[in-house]
Structure 1
Amino acid sequence: MSPTLAPSVIRTNTVVVGAGQAGLAAAYYLQQRGVDFRLLDAAAAGAAWAGRYESLRLFSPAWVSGLPGRPWPGNPLHYPTRDETTAYLRDYAAHFGFPLDLHQRVTRVGAAPEQAGYEISTDSGRTYLARRVIIATGPYTAPRVPAWAGRLPAATAQLHSRDYRRPSQVPGSGPVGVVGSGNSALQVAADLAATGRPVVVAFDEKTAALPNNQLMWLFLVLTGLLRVPRHTALGRRLSRRPDPVVSGDLAKLRQFSNVTFIGRAEAALPSGAIQGQKGVSPPLEGVVWATGYQPDYGWVDLPVFEPNGAPRHRRGLTEVPGIAFLGLNWLDTRRSALLHGAGPDAKRVVGELLKMP
């Protein structure tokens, strides 16, 4: 007879780490299959969205942004805001009554001692024992900034777009720089420019720009371009290309008279200026780095990573039985890191995991 487990030890079939869109979609399909599971999050459902900048809007309309089993409420043509996205995810978790354990930051996932399965430890002192673990914390974890960012003087305030919420976070009223060539860089720069202060944008002029309208999304859905698998020849070619930015957002930013584009950032100068391919900024009072993220899975004590720290998987499934990832860029297709792709990826990964003994 097995000894009685202490209250701080919870045994379950599957643990899902992360209650963003990927983790919630996994929870939906686990629930549909009648699997005993726990959904863990360091804060709350949708917390990653709640922590983004206030002016954020989804790049996809509501009709292609819903999770399985619960369409987005309201106008399907609407592009949801940050707060609307957070509310939708929290409502989704509450509607289905998932076994959601909040404020459980996972500190280690490793092999369970002296038994099959895995041991998941949290900073609250809880331990979960599970046969399967789905890691759905997403790709937006550790901010990445250029190595030369440290050359800026201490007087130049610096923050990453992950920590940017509103213009008032950047002190002063003089020039501020935004470095990056993605959609977040354009939205943050426009947010700052709307205050009237000078904004210098270090943006790679070679970045592709596409319209973001209902017709484009209808085209992407009907042609299946968002569903091209990464492991095909076309998928490999597409995955190597940088993501395009929204042409309307780029055009809007160029209309601000207080915005200057200097091309892709190349270096920082001791004066507090940034050298771009097309010009040099004036000394900056602050810089927002919209320069992406890098993997941060130091808490996963399992042999499932490439030398660069990225998860090693095929379509979300790893070589370690019972361990899978969800919500990564190009986990399977272009839509994998979007709300649009959370459901299909979760359905497939959960189905494959449950085939394992």
Structure 2
Amino acid sequence: MTNNITKTDTLVIGAGQAGIAMSEHLGNLDIDHIVLEKNRIAEAWRSRRWDSLVANGPCWHDKFPNMDFPHNPETFVSHNEVADYFESYAKKIKAPIRTGIEVLKVEKIPSNMGFNVHTTQGDFIANNIVIATGPFQKPVIPPIAPNWKDLYQIHSDQYKNPEQLPEGNVLVIGAGSSGVQIAKELNSSGKKVFLSVGPHERPPRRYRQRDNVWWLGVLGTWQESTPPQRPIKGFAVSGMNGGETVDFRKLAHDGITLVGMTDKFEDNKVYFHNDLVDNVTSAEENYLATLEAMDKYIEANGLDLPEEPEAKVFLPIPDSISNPITDLDFDKDNITSVIWASGFGFDYHWLNFDIFQENGAPKHNKGITDEPGIYFVGLPYLSSKGSSFIWGVWHDAKRIADYIDIQHQYHNYQPPQVEKSSSI
């Protein structure tokens, strides 16, 4: 049986926001390309989000430049509406997407330009490979997780709603955007919730009539790059209830029991670091410094935005912060569920090239790797803080597409023929 082989200049792997953005820019440059997606378009937005999740930014900002959401610009749209948006966008740009095709292996063609890509539906040959599989590839649960068969444990990637959990109390580990929003939803449903809080940032959702995403833009924060060696703290911001500032003191006053960063599980107990006060207060100091920078920007630019002194007033410190719990007993405290909001890792098992760090993260320069023809787009801090956000990935994709086009020009260059003069 003859193997089915399809040839194209550039093969984009993944049809989420990164893959669709790549397709738009490649199409604008008339670069022949195909986008492969193992599931449906924007599948992660449909099936790998909890039921009530909304986007973490208002839809005037969390979009591509050439198409708006059909909502009030300040709306935080649901995850299904985000998926619908990308499906519509793909149709708008006539993206050559092929769904239901999983990439199994990518190999360099020996002594030649290009790559052979083995998939579940035949082979593809391409000069360039753009990996656009997104930042949420492999849910990571730390090795400290206990192997207790009677304990219900899931990653936040598997969480859907409070009804899926058994009766009893819940420990949520991780206080970034996902952990906080899940803890709030569980608390509102009547569950007793313990929230393990590590180092984090908690910017204001809005300040002086402008959303946080606007402030990140005018203050230049979206363009900040992060050295790979610096740990990225949890980022606690929420689009719940029309968008609200995450306030850990308020979470505690509302009934959520805050605890420090999780240390270990032992003898039916879980132990926490004594760092809760430091984690909360350092984030509050950063929050106040952020407000000060916003105030200075308003004053320096003569903007007519009303003052908001109440934003700088904190609730009293609750007892669970001032006298934090250092351990919990799963039986005595009736904890029957643990939700790990512990982030994601990388999974490029199908890509056997020397372009990865020890932790599996790609080695690249703003998406360009040392393996000519292999590129990444859609990863956190690919070029800046905005790289993994909807609007940011669109701009990164344009830069990568432009780079591919420039490489074409180099490869297609032919020096002029110079006639040799005859000797006398």
TM-score (ref. length: structure 1): 0.90
Please name the residue that 2:152 is paired with. 157
Please name the residue that 1:265 is paired with. 262
Is 1:82 matched with 2:79? yes
Q: CA RMSD in A?
A: 2.1
Shift of residue 128 of structure 1?
0.8
Asked if 2 retains the 8 angstrom alpha-carbon contact of 1:64 and 1:340, the reply is yes
Give the letter aligned to residue 200 of structure 2.
T
Match runs of 1:1-357 below 5 Å:
8-51=4-47, 52-113=49-110, 115-122=112-119, 124-151=120-147, 153-171=148-166, 173-204=167-198, 206-213=199-206, 214-228=210-224, 230=225, 235-236=226-227, 240-246=231-237, 248-251=245-248, 253-257=251-255, 259-271=256-268, 273=270, 275=272, 277=274, 278-279=324-325, 280-283=327-330, 284-356=335-407, 357=411
Shift of residue 220 of structure 1?
1.6
Structure 1 CA distance, aligned partners of 2:135 and 2:267?
32
Secondary structure of 1:75's counterpart equals: coil
Give the letter aligned to residue 73 of structure 1.
P
Task: Specify whether residues 241 and 310 from structure 1 end up closer, same or farther in structure 2 by C-alpha distance, changes over 3 A only.
Answer: closer
Tell me which moved more, 161-170 or 308-317.
161-170
Deviations 1:120-157 (CA, angstroms, capped at 9, x unpaired) = 122x2321110001001112111212211035x21001
Deviations 1:203-245 (CA, angstroms, capped at 9, x unpaired) = 12x42211113343222212222023x2xxxx54996441431
Task: Specify whether residues 101 and 13 from structure 1 end up closer, same or farther in structure 2 by C-alpha distance, changes over 3 A only.
Answer: same
Tell me which moved more, 235-244 or 305-314.
235-244
Structure 2 CA distance, aligned partners of 1:127 and 1:349?
24
Asked if 2 retains the 8 angstrom alpha-carbon contact of 1:176 and 1:199, the reply is yes
Shift of residue 193 of structure 1?
1.5
Task: Specify whether residues 291 and 141 from structure 1 end up closer, same or farther in structure 2 by C-alpha distance, changes over 3 A only.
Answer: same
Shift of residue 114 of structure 1?
6.1
Give the letter aligned to residue 254 of structure 1.
A
Secondary structure of 1:154's counterpart equals: coil
User: Structure 1 vs Structure 2: percent identity of aligned residues?
Assistant: 28
Task: Specify whether residues 222 and 131 from structure 1 end up closer, same or farther in structure 2 by C-alpha distance, changes over 3 A only.
Answer: same
Secondary structure of 2:105's counterpart equals: strand
Asked if 1 retains the 8 angstrom alpha-carbon contact of 2:177 and 2:236, the reply is yes
Task: Specify whether residues 239 and 86 from structure 1 end up closer, same or farther in structure 2 by C-alpha distance, changes over 3 A only.
Answer: farther
Shift of residue 7 of structure 1?
7.1
Structure 2 CA distance, aligned partners of 1:224 and 1:276?
35
Shift of residue 340 of structure 1?
2.1
Give the letter aligned to residue 311 of structure 1.
P
Secondary structure of 1:130's counterpart equals: strand
Shift of residue 310 of structure 1?
0.9
Asked if 1 retains the 8 angstrom alpha-carbon contact of 2:25 and 2:398, the reply is yes
Deviations 1:259-312 (CA, angstroms, capped at 9, x unpaired) = 211121111133254545332234121111000111111111222112221101
Structure 1 gap ranges (5+): none
Give the letter aligned to residue 21 of structure 1.
Q
Please name the residue that 2:289 is paired with. none
Shift of residue 116 of structure 1?
2.2
Give the letter aligned to residue 40 of structure 2.
A
Shift of residue 45 of structure 1?
1.1
Q: Whose Rg is larger?
A: 2
Give the letter aligned to residue 203 of structure 2.
L
Asked if 1 retains the 8 angstrom alpha-carbon contact of 2:3 and 2:123, the reply is no
Give the letter aligned to residue 11 of structure 1.
K
Asked if 2 retains the 8 angstrom alpha-carbon contact of 1:203 and 1:263, the reply is yes
Asked if 2 retains the 8 angstrom alpha-carbon contact of 1:59 and 1:212, the reply is no
Structure 1 CA distance, aligned partners of 2:271 and 2:245?
26
Task: Specify whether residues 133 and 237 from structure 1 end up closer, same or farther in structure 2 by C-alpha distance, changes over 3 A only.
Answer: closer
Structure 1 CA distance, aligned partners of 2:18 and 2:339?
28
Give the letter aligned to residue 245 of structure 1.
A
